[in-house]
Structures are given as structure tokens and as C-alpha cells.
Amino acid sequence: TGGADDAVRIWDAHTGKPVSELLKCRATVDKLFVANDARRLVTIPQDGDSGGLLWNYSSRGFQPTSLRCRDGYRIYDQFYTAAFSPDGRRLGVAGKWKGYSLGEWWLVDLDTLDAVAPVTVTTCPVKSLAFSPDGSRLAVGWDYRPPVYDEGTPGVGVYSV
């Protein structure tokens, strides 16, 4: 769970008791994403401007890394949503880079934090991301009236990754 106390708590689903020390974030935790193996987390603050944190589990517990992704010449630091690939090696991230209002999404290699797929610009902020079960496609959803993509659903683009 994440919340207004700028912290994430990890709970045992069977006992309902906390199983991890408090993970302190930089701001109110608005969104929390967990990898399938539960060894990685992403937290996104309420304002989106403080940048996301990628939490990797090691023998020392969860350790945070600033999620400021690079695509060769820009650093993305305003995040709206994220999704882990089923194999846990990539992260779909949506947000924007400072100074621009268009929404963008990209894929991140979780070992290097480099963008591994071209950034795709949308006409408004991307609100949701979801990988297909085999990790070969990424569904991207946003507001307003975007183009219709191959699935025929307005507001959703499906991309091969």
C-alpha cells in the first residue's frame, strides 16, 4: 500500500500483517506498480513532478533508484503510469518531459534504465498501460479522441513490442 504519509508498506496477504519495513518516498504515493515476481516496485508521486522511484529487492531489502529514464538526449521525469512486462525485464512508462504538454510513453530496460523503444507521442496524457500476457504487445490508453488503432477501439493503441 502507498499513501499520504509518503510511504509504502508491504503486507502478508494471508495474515494481514506488515512484512517489510516502511519504504519512504519523496512525496505522497499516488500510484504503486508491482512486478509479477514482487522483487521490483514502481512508485509514482501524486504530483508526478517528483519523479518515480524504482525499488529493487536485494538482501538488504528494497532499495530505491530514481526512475529518470534516458532516450539518448532527454531525461523523462514526470510520470503518470507504468506497467511491468510479464518477464520483469522491461517497464512501460507514460509521462512527459518538462516543458512539453504532449503525452508520451516508452519502454525501459530495467537493467540500464535506458529507453529501448521509440518514444511515442500522443495528443494528450497517457492514462493507462498494460502488457499482453506473453509480453509481445502493449496497450496504451489516453483521453479525448485519438486515432483508432488496429483493435478498433478509440482511445487505445495496441503496439507490438
Each residue's pLDDT, cut to its tens digit, for the chain (161 residues) gives 888 888 888 888 899 998 876 778 778 888 899 999 988 998 888 765 566 788 888 888 888 887 765 555 455 557 788 999 999 999 988 876 655 656 777 788 888 887 777 666 666 777 788 898 988 888 887 765 544 344 444 445 666 55
Q: What pLDDT, on the 0 to 100 scale, is given for residue 70?
A: 56
Say which residues have a Cβ less than 8 Å from residue 153's Cβ, sequence separation at least 6.
none
By DSSP bridging, strand 23-24 and strand 120-122 are: unpaired
Q: For position 153, what pLDDT does the model report?
A: 47
74 Cβ contact partners less than 8 Å away, ≥ 6 residues apart: 97
Nine-digit cell at 8?
Answer: 509504502
Contact of 1 with 23, CB cutoff 8 Å:
no
**Nearest in space to 127 (alpha carbons), one of 141, 113, 138, 111:** 141
Total-model pTM: 0.78
3-state secondary structure 67-133: ECEECCCCEECEEEEEEECCCCCEEEEEEECCCCCCEEEEEEECCCCEECCCCEEECCCEEEEEECC
